[in-house]
């Protein structure tokens, strides 16, 4: 079932995944309108998107997701909401209230607006980090939605995303003000890469400063399965089609799905190398110190920063939970999404890698110039 004639709201539309989803909606769906909801949407992005919009109306809604009047107005007359916007903070650099405000309060307000404005479908963009890895670093290899796991979450980001995901799934079946029931589901992508990924740019920048050698922060055996942004966008579109299809709604509604693709399982550090080696980058062969020693150093850094916090907020470049995440085998299958939603990766690993390498190559001269300029 297509989204022909629907009015679609995309939160976080100016971001990495949001831009890709909006473009896909404009290119493939005869939606009546696509609303770009974000705190700030670059005019150039709107001009670029308008070129592929066909007959679909494209409208920009700039505002705060924590503003009830703004959210309610943005959802008025809409039929599908893709909720992508969130605060990502794995270094614990932000106050809890800031992360909670966007990730949890913003999600709750959106759900309430959907019910009041009779929005039929709500797709929540969750993350693999709502499951773990836990502080013990218990591994999962090719897991699924039913894989048992002792999920103990330390990151504020992980906890708030888990809270928002649960609220989204509990809202499935809620009575809409205008009649009917709200249909919801949540997607848990793996680490998302591709054109526009700020984390890849950050790793490339660090490597340039390190003599074109990528720093190793994860052991080779700590394999994960990153997912290409184009495939994640396609999964969102397929989820919306499924929730709007009476034949699939009962199977998909109220559930979460892991979203991966056929990117080969590899450690985070070795993945960075896989997409940057064609640009002439090398990689450190081993961690800079034994893993146990790195945990001790992270602990000492965290204690020092905590002691300084009443005077100044200092954020360590690495913490124990992030070190655990980087060094835990944690991979998941997309078979449930394939079975229930008909999701299939649109881009092979070869094509996704090629597109990512080409984008990084286009950014490399600019990054070198920025570093030279101080």
pLDDT at residue 32, as a whole number: 87
Q: Count other Cβ atoms within 10 Å, centred on residue 63.
A: 15
Residues contacting residue 226 through CB under 8 Å, at least 6 positions apart: 190, 191, 192, 193, 263, 266, 268, 271
Predicted confidence (pLDDT) per residue in 217-270, tens digit: 999 999 999 999 999 999 999 999 999 999 899 999 999 999 999 999 999 999
Provide, rounded to the nearest whole percent, the portion of the chain with pLDDT above 70: 99
pLDDT at 358: 98
* Residue 141 near residue 80 (C-beta atoms within 8 A): no
Angle at 191 between CA 189 and CA 194, to 5 degrees: 100
| Mean pLDDT (whole number) for 200-211 | 96
What is d(CA 264, CA 248) in angstroms, rounded to the nearest whole number? 30
Give the closest residue to 115 by CA, choosing from 71, 85, 84.
71
Q: What is the pLDDT of residue 241?
A: 95
- CA-CA-CA-CA torsion sign (250, 253, 255, 259): positive
Banded model confidence at residue 45, pLDDT cuts 50, 70, 90: confident
- 316-333: average pLDDT: 94
Q: Yes or no: say if 128 and 258 are a contact pair by the CB < 8 Å rule.
A: yes
pLDDT level of residue 314 (50, 70, 90 thresholds): confident
pLDDT at 159 exceeding the cut of 80: yes
pLDDT at 374: 66
Architecture in CATH of 7-193+227-264+330-349: 3-Layer(aba) Sandwich (3.40)
Query: Among residues 263, 285, 247, 272, which one has the least CA distance to residue 334?
Result: 263
Average pLDDT of every residue of the chain: 94
Neighbours of 174 (CB within 10 A): 15
**Burial class (CB within 10 angstroms; exposed 0-12, middle 13-18, buried 19+) of 341:** buried
Report the predicted TM-score, pTM, of the whole model to 2 decimal places: 0.95
Determine the pLDDT at residue 53: 64
In this prediction, residue 200 has a pLDDT band, given cuts at 50, 70 and 90, of: very high
- How confident is the model at residue 1, as a pLDDT? 65
At 152, the pLDDT band (50, 70, 90 cuts) reads: confident
Contact call for residues 331 and 142 (beta carbons, < 8 A): yes
**CA angle centred on 358, ends 53 and 58, rounded to 5°:** 15
pLDDT tens figures, 326-335? 999 999 999 9
Catalytic (active site) residue 343: no
Question: What pLDDT digit, counting tens, does each position of 111-151 carry?
Answer: 999 999 999 999 999 999 999 999 999 999 999 999 999 98
Asked if the model's pLDDT at residue 52 lies above 80, the reply is: no
Residue 258 forms beta bridges with which residues?
A: 188
Catalytic member of 96, 124, 149, 157: 157
Residue range 64-90: mean pLDDT, rounded: 95
d(CA 247, CA 298): 51
Q: What is the pLDDT of residue 310?
A: 80
- Residue 176 binned pLDDT confidence (cut-offs 50, 70, 90): very high
Residue 135 is classified by DSSP as T
Q: How does pLDDT run across 9-41, given as a tens digit for each residue?
A: 999 999 999 999 999 999 888 788 999 999 998
Nearest to 315 by CA among 324, 305, 325, 323: 305
């Amino acid at each position: 079932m297509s989204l022909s004639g629907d009015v679609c709201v995309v939160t976080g539309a100016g971001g990495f995944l949001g831009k890709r989803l909006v473009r896909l909606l404009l290119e493939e769906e005869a939606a009546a309108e696509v609303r770009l909801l974000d705190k700030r949407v670059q005019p150039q992005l709107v001009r670029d998107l308008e070129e592929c919009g066909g007959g679909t109306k494209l409208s920009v809604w700039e505002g705060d997701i924590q503003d009830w009047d703004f959210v309610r107005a943005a959802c008025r007359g809409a039929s599908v909401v893709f909720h992508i916007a969130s605060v990502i903070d794995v270094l614990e650099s932000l106050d809890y209230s800031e992360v909670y405000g966007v990730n949890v309060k913003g999600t709750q307000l959106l759900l309430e607006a959907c019910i009041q404005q009779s929005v039929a479908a709500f797709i929540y963009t969750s993350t693999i980090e709502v499951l773990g890895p836990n502080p013990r670093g218990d591994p999962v290899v090719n897991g699924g939605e039913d894989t048992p796991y002792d999920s103990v979450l330390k990151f504020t980001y992980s906890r708030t995303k888990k809270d928002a995901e649960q609220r989204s799934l509990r809202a499935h079946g809620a009575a809409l003000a205008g009649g009917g029931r709200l249909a919801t589901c949540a997607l848990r992508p793996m680490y998302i890469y591709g054109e526009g990924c700020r984390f890849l740019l950050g790793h490339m920048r660090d490597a340039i400063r390190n003599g074109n050698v990528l720093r190793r922060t994860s052991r080779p055996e700590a394999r994960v399965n990153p997912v290409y942004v184009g495939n994640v966008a396609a999964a969102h579109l397929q989820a919306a089609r499924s929730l709007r299809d009476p034949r699939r709604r009962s199977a998909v509604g109220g559930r979460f799905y892991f979203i991966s693709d056929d990117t080969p399982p590899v450690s985070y550090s070795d993945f960075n190398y896989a997409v940057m080696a064609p640009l002439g980058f090398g990689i450190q062969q081993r961690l800079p110190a034994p893993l146990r020693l790195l945990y001790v150093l992270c602990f000492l850094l965290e204690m020092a920063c905590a002691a300084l916090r009443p005077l100044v907020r200092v954020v360590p470049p690495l913490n124990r939970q992030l070190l655990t995440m980087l060094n835990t085998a944690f991979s998941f299958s997309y078979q449930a999404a394939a079975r229930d939603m008909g999701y299939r990766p649109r881009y092979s690993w070869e094509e996704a890698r090629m597109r990512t390498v080409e984008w990084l190559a286009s950014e490399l001269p600019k990054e070198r110039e920025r570093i030279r300029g101080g």
